[in-house]
Every structure is written in C-alpha cells, then in structure tokens.
Amino acid sequence: MRLPTFLKRPRTARQIAGQMGEDEALCYLQQQGLVLIERNFLCRGGEIDLVMQDGAALVFVEVRKRADKHHGGAAASVTPAKQKRLIVAAHVFLQRYKVPPACRFDVIAIDATEMSWLKNAIES
C-alpha cells in the first residue's frame, strides 16, 4: 500500500536525480524494444529499479547515475553487496511464475551525460 502524497517525506536532491536517471534509462530501453513489466520492485531483500521484457527474457535492470567518473564511475558502484540484494529481489520477483522465464541482470550506468548499457552485468 502506498502512502498518500501528503504523508510522504520530501524527496532529497539525490533521490530526485536517481529518479531522473531511471526515467532516462527507461526511455532508452523502450527505444531499444524492451517493454516495462514493473518499476521499483521492492521486497524485504532488496529493490530492482526496472523489470523489463526483452523478447522471451526477463531483464532485471539496475540504474546507477553519477555526476562524473571519479571513484570508478556509475558501473563500479554496483558492489558485490548490491549485486547480492538484486539477486535476492529477483528470486522473490520470480516466485510469481510457475515456470520462471529466462532472465538476466543488466546495468544502465550514467556518468554525467554518458549512458552505458551493460548486458549480463551480474551473474547469479
């Protein structure tokens, strides 16, 4: 259940920037022919930014946005701990299927204005 707007906390600048990054990634992936299944899937084990359909495959997408490439950039910010949480969340998401489809984990890394789509970026 979602809270009414008047009960929600104000969003931080970082949250707003993250939301804009997700919007950019979603638009880009849709232009590439992927179809949105769910956005911001949240469970006790973690969160998946975008769940997309790419043909017969289900794609779990992590979107990372950074102002620049210092400290390794956006792609490097997907740590092993974050990968583990994504895998746990994907397992929870897949419980809704009697026969789980083929799936993969992609990362959309946005460094300043440069976007990179890393397919099969995480293995489980």
* Mean pLDDT, residues 89-116 taken together: 92
Please give the average per-residue pLDDT across 2-10, as a whole number. Answer: 62
What is the pLDDT at residue 87? 93
Give CA separation, 36 vs 20, 81, 114, in Å.
16, 25, 22
Separation of alpha carbons 28 and 115, rounded Å: 9
Q: Residue 89 is encoded by which pair of tokens?
A: 């969340």
Helix (H, G, I), strand (E, B) or coil at 109: strand
Between 69 and 76, whose confidence is greater? 76
Position 50 confidence tier, pLDDT thresholds 50, 70, 90: very high
Q: Nearest Cα to 36, choosing from 26, 46, 48?
A: 26
pLDDT at 92 (0 to 100): 94
Calculate the average pLDDT of the chain.
86
| Coil/strand/helix, residue 36 | strand
Whether the per-residue pLDDT at 14 is higher than 80: the answer is: no
Separation between Cα atoms, residue 77 and residue 71, nearest integer Å: 9
Ramachandran class of 62: left when φ > 0, alpha when ψ lies in -120 to 50, beta otherwise: beta
The domain spans of the chain are 5-122
Instruction: Report the alpha-carbon distance of residue 108 to residue 97 in Å, rounded.
Output: 25
Size of the chain, expressed as the number of residues it contains: 124
Does position 59 have pLDDT exceeding 70, yes or no?
yes
- Could you give the percent of the chain with pLDDT greater than 90? 52
% of the chain residues with pLDDT over 70 = 87
DSSP H stretches of helix in 7-100: 13-31, 73-76, 80-94
Which CATH architecture group holds 5-122? Answer: 3-Layer(aba) Sandwich (3.40)
What one-letter code names the amino acid at 61? V
Structure tokens at 48: 């998946």
